[in-house]
């Protein structure tokens, strides 16, 4: 096993930049989890990245398990993606008019994810989920939505009720600024509880427009669905005239070429996408059945627009990335890499006799510091976050950049090889020893 050089980690430049940033940016960061408060650290400011590695402003190198929160499935600076962006940037950074790239990537998305018959590109996962809910309400002529505790669908008002990601990390159950009238239209239920969804539909008969769910939860740690759970959601929505929306911003094209819906053989009415389809550039998308999507303006009467939607740089990067992922071996290799890392961590956990659960799906991994099996947000909250913080700090000292929150999944790329995995396992062995 590769030996990790143990030297005191100098992050003085990151600390200086953080002090400077706090004077001009709320909390010194542009996305809350990056503040690293949950792991008792200041943020690490990065300067460059290549393949499975990132380097900070102090010159420290880390094996990267954040991967731009899932976007960098091919690794950083993949030649095909970089070449596509370079070609696109020679034409313009933005036109404000349609381009061939938009059509090509739409065709590619539909080819890889058959539940999507039409797709609209936006600029973020938040926009995608927000737009999908508006469309669902218009299509069903109903107002209420169902989400699940610990699932995060972006920061639109309707979703910040018992949400995961940064809210879970910072211990925020909801957000000030959301009118009570609007929050009453969102029902938040425990994940993996089929009886709860059936009860909600009985209590609010004829009022629920849609159920939106992360089919594999990645914003409360990594929580997989129980056998039959997603099928139960599909059947309950169909029986009650509500739409089923899969938020596959994280899982889309990552856990399988066709996302979680392919993995679990479920056909949602609408799907929200992001991350991978931008190749690291800002992007989002929502799509689904033609008869539903044709309600979106200018084809229909549900308005949604965005100046930079379909940005040529994002479209070029995303198209190159999706085409690379078409290879039949891509997800097989990604699963092998993820399983190798997960199995290694499990072995270390068992030998160290630490209370921890290791969960993985293709390209995603989570380590929960709890003796309980984690099946929902409530059980995830039983985790020892202080131990997680100490482990995170130790991993960082040993050259591993893990997501700085117990409630975020880690991401593996196709560039994580034997060297990176061995280094990571050695770092975990030291951290849990």
Characterize the bridge pairing of strands 61-64 and 400-401.
parallel
**CA-to-CA separations, 246 to 97, 230, 366, 388, 397, in angstroms, rounded:** 29, 10, 21, 30, 37
Q: Which one from 65, 139, 152, 401 is the annotated catalytic residue?
A: 152
Residue in 56, 193, 247, 269 annotated catalytic:
247
Exactly one of 37, 147, 162, 275 is catalytic; name it: 275
Burial class (CB in 10 A: 0-12, 13-18, 19+), 130: buried
Q: Could you give the angle at the alpha carbon of 154 between the alpha carbons of 151 and 157, nearest 5°?
A: 100
Known active-site residue 64: no
Strand ranges of the sheet holding 364-368, from the earlier edge strand across to the other edge: 357-361, 364-368, 410-411
User: Could you confirm whether 401 is annotated as catalytic?
Assistant: no
50 part of the active site: no
How far apart, in whole angstroms, are the C-alpha atoms of residue 58 and residue 117?
Answer: 47
DSSP 174: B
- Please write down the long-range contacts of 111-116, taking CB distance under 8 Å and 24 or more positions apart: 112/253, 112/257, 112/258, 112/322, 112/325, 112/326, 113/252, 113/253, 113/258, 113/259, 113/261, 113/262, 113/271, 113/287, 114/258, 115/261, 115/267, 115/268, 115/271, 115/288, 115/289, 116/271, 116/287, 116/288
Instruction: State the Cα torsion 65-70-76-80 to the nearest 10°.
Output: 150
Task: Give me the active site residues, please.
Answer: 152, 247, 275
């Amino acid at each position: 096993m590769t030996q990790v050089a143990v030297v005191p980690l100098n992050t003085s430049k990151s600390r200086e930049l953080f002090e400077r940033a706090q004077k001009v940016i709320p909390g010194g960061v542009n996305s809350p989890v990056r503040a690293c408060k949950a792991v008792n650290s200041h943020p690490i400011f990065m300067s460059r990245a290549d393949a499975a590695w990132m380097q900070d402003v102090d010159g420290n190198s880390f094996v990267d398990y954040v991967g731009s929160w899932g976007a960098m499935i091919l690794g950083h600076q993949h030649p095909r993606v970089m070449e596509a962006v370079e070609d696109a940037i020679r034409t313009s950074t933005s036109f404000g008019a349609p381009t061939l790239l938009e059509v090509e990537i739409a065709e590619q998305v539909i080819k890889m994810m058959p539940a999507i018959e039409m797709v609209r590109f936006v600029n973020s996962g938040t926009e995608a989920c927000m737009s999908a809910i508006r469309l669902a309400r218009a299509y069903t002529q109903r107002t209420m939505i169902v989400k699940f505790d610990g699932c995060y669908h972006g920061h639109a008002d309707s979703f910040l009720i018992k949400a995961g990601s940064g809210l879970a990390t910072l211990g925020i159950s909801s957000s000030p600024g959301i009118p009570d009238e609007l929050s009453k239209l969102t029902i938040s239920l425990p994940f993996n509880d089929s009886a709860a969804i059936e009860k909600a539909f009985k209590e609010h008969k004829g009022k629920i427009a849609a159920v939106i769910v992360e089919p594999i939860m990645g914003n409360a740690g990594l929580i997989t669905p129980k056998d039959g759970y997603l099928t139960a959601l599909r059947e309950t929505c169909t029986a009650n005239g509500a739409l089923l929306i899969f938020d596959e911003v994280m899982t889309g094209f990552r856990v399988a070429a066709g996302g979680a819906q392919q993995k679990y053989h479920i056909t949602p009415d609408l799907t929200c996408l992001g991350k991978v389809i931008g190749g690291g550039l800002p992007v989002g998308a929502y799509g689904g059945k033609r008869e539903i999507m044709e309600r979106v303006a200018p084809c229909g009467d549900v308005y949604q627009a965005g100046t930079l939607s379909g940005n040529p740089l994002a479209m070029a990067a995303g198209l190159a990335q999706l085409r690379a992922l078409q290879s039949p071996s891509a997800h097989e290799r990604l699963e092998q890499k993820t399983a190798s890392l997960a199995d290694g961590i499990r072995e270390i956990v068992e030998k160290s006799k630490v209370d921890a659960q290791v969960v993985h799906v293709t390209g995603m991994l989570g380590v929960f510091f709890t003796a309980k099996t984690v099946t929902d947000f409530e059980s995830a909250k039983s985790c020892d976050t202080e131990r997680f913080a100490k482990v995170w700090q130790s991993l960082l000292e040993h050259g591993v950049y893990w997501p700085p929150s117990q409630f975020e999944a880690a991401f593996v790329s196709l560039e994580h090889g034997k060297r990176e995995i061995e280094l990571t396992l050695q770092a975990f062995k030291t951290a849990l020893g």
